[in-house]
Structure 1
Amino acid sequence: MHLLVPTAGVPPFVGPDIDEFFPPAVFFEGTAFEINRIMLIRFAAAIAILLLFWIGTRRMRVVPGRFQSVIEMGLDFVRVNIAEDLLGKKDGRRFLPLIMAIFFTVLVMNFTGVVPLMNIAGTSVIGVPLLLAVVAYVAFIYAGCRKSPANFFRNALFPPGVPWPLYILITPLEFLSTFIVRPFTLTLRLMMNMIVGHLLLVLFFTATQWFFFVVPGFVKAIGAGTLAFGFAFTVFELLIIVLQAYIFALLTTVYIQLALAEEH
C-alpha cells in the first residue's frame, strides 16, 4: 500500500502488505520442510508453552509462590469457567487436557503478534488455526460417537420434532452446518482477527516512523497522533488476544457439550 506525498523529494509512505504473512524461506527452501519466519515464531511459541508449564509445575507447593500462583490461576480459569461450567465436573475433567491445550496454544500463538522482534501472530496464517479447528472437530465427533454413534448422527442430521417432509431441506443444511462449516468458521474467526490486528498495528507504527523521520516540517507532529493510536490499539489487541483464545476454547467445549447432550 502506497501513499504518494505531494512534497518533492519525500519518499512515499509504504504501508503493510499481505506479503508479510508469506515471508521467504529461512531453512530448507523448496522442500516439504521449508521453514520461514512465521514457522520459527511458532516453534518459539511452542517452546515457551512447554517451558512455562514445566517451570510452573515442576515443584508444586501447598503454599504456592508467585509464578506457581499465576499458572494455577490460568489453569483454574479454564477448568472452572470453560470446562466444568459447560460439561460438568465428570466430563469437564475428562476433556480438560484438550481444552487447556487449545486455550494456551491459541493464547501464546496470538501473543507473539505484540512481542517485539516477532510482531506477527503464529495464528495469523491458516496452518495453526486450521489444525486446532480440526482437533476441535475430531473431539466433537469422538465425544458423540463414544456416547452413542447412532443417536449422535441421527439427531445431528434429523433434528427431532420436525415434520418429515422438511428433512429434505433441513438435513443437507444441518450436514453443512455441523460437519463442514463449523471447522472453517473456527479457523477463519481466529485467523482473520489476527491478520487485521497485525495490519493495523503495522499501519500505525509505520506511519509514526514515516512522519517522525521522513516528512519535513510541522507535519511531523501528526506522528504523535499515530503513535498514540498505535499504543491504544496495542492495548486493545491484547484484549483481542485473550478473547480469541477464550472463544476458541469455549466453542470447542460447546461442540463437545452438544455431542454429549442427552438427545444424542
Structure 2
Amino acid sequence: MTLASITFAGSESPPSPGPADFDLPAVFHIGEFGVTKPMLLVVLSGFLIVGLFARLARPAAVVPGRGQFAGELVYGFVRNGIARENIGSHDFMKFVPYLFTIFLFVLVNNFYGLVPFIQFPSMSHIGYPIAIAVMSWIVYNGAGIAKKGFVGYLKHETVPAGMKGPILLLLVPLEFLSNILLRPITLTLRLFATMFAGHLLLILFSLGGEYLLLHSENALRYPAGIVSILLAIAISFLEILIMFLQAYVFTLLSSMYIGEALADEH
C-alpha cells in the first residue's frame, strides 16, 4: 500500500505523485515552442560549469590556492582515476576533455534535484540521458573505427578472441547486440531510472508528510507525518551519494567502452 492509496477519515486522499509530476509546463514560449524548466537547467549547467572552472583556473599558480586545488582535484580524478585507468596511458589524454565534460554535466544536472527552489534533476527527463548516451556511443565506436577500420572494428566487437567454428553463429549476433546496440540503452536507463525513482520518492514522502501534518484528520497524523518528513530528509542525504555515483558510473562506463574499442584484443 502506498501513501497515496490511504484514505483518511474526514478528509480527501493526499496528492498522488507520479510521472505527471515530471511533465512540467513551459516557463515561456518562443513562438509556438515552449521552453521548460529542464531545458533552462541544462543550459544553466553549461554556464555554471564553464564559469566556475574558468574562475578556478584563472590564477594558474604553481602553488594552487583552495579553489584551484579543488578544480585540479576534480580534473585529476577524471583524468587519472577514470580515463587513464580504463583507456590506457597511450591514448587516454585525447578523451579526457570529453569524459571530464560528461562527468561534470551529469553531476550538476543530478544535483539540481537537491537545490532549494530548483529541486528537479534534469536527468530524470529521459531525453537528456539518451542524448549523452548516444554521444558516448558515437565517441567509442568512432574511436574504434578510426583505429581498426570499419570491418576490423566490427570483427573486434563481435568475434571473441580464440573462438572458431559453428559457435560463432550464436556468439556473433549476441556480441553485436550487447556491444553495439544495447550499450547506449543501458547507459540511458541506468541514469534515467535512478534519477526518476529518487525524485519520485522525495515527492512522495515530502508531500505525504506535509499532507499528514497540515491537512489530515487521522489520529496518527502527527507521528506518521514526522516519520514521512524524516524519511524525506534521509533520502535527500542518500540521493547526494547516488547522484555522484551515477555521474561517476556513466563516465566510468563510457571510458571502459572507449578502452575496449581501442584494445588490441576483444
CA, structure 1 residues 193+218, in 2 after alignment: closer, same or farther (shift >3 Å)?
closer
1:207-229 deviation line (CA, Å, top 9, x unaligned):
11112211245522222211111
SS at match of 1:162: coil
Question: In 2, Cα distance between the equivalents of 1:101 and 1:3?
Answer: 43
- Where do residues 32-51 of structure 1 align in structure 2 (5 Å cutoff)? 33-51=33-51
Match of 1:249 among 228, 248, 251: 251
1:235 deviates by 0.8
1:148-178 deviation line (CA, Å, top 9, x unaligned):
1132211212223223212222222111111
Match of 2:235 among 228, 233, 236: 233
User: What RMSD, in angstroms, separates the aligned Cα atoms of the two structures?
Assistant: 1.8
SS at match of 1:48: helix
Runs (4 or more) in structure 1 with deviation over 3 Å come to: 1-4
Partner of 1:104: 104
Partner of 1:148: 148
SS at match of 2:265: coil
Question: In 2, Cα distance between the equivalents of 1:137 and 1:250?
Answer: 13
Contact 1:151 1:263 in 2 (8 A): no
Contact 2:107 2:243 in 1 (8 A): yes
Aligned length: 262
Question: In 1, Cα distance between the equivalents of 2:145 and 2:7?
Answer: 62
CA, structure 1 residues 75+94, in 2 after alignment: closer, same or farther (shift >3 Å)?
same
Deviates more, 1:126-135 or 1:37-46: 37-46
SS at match of 1:13: coil
Q: Which amino acid aligns with 2:174?
A: L
1:91-126 deviation line (CA, Å, top 9, x unaligned):
121210011011111101111111111111111111
Partner of 1:123: 123
Q: Which amino acid aligns with 2:24?
A: P
Partner of 1:204: 205
SS at match of 1:28: strand
Contact 1:124 1:191 in 2 (8 A): yes
- Where do residues 166-245 of structure 1 align in structure 2 (5 Å cutoff)? 166-216=167-217, 219-245=221-247
Q: Which amino acid aligns with 2:45?
A: A
Matching of residue 136 in structure 1 with residue 136 in structure 2:
yes
TM-score by length of 1: 0.93
- Give the number of the structure with larger relative contact order, counting CA–CA contacts within 8 Å between residues 6 or more apart: 2
Q: Which amino acid aligns with 1:234?
A: S
Tell me the percent identity. Answer: 36
Question: In 2, Cα distance between the equivalents of 1:177 and 1:200?
Answer: 32
Point out where structure 1 has 5 or more consecutive residues left out of the alignment.
none
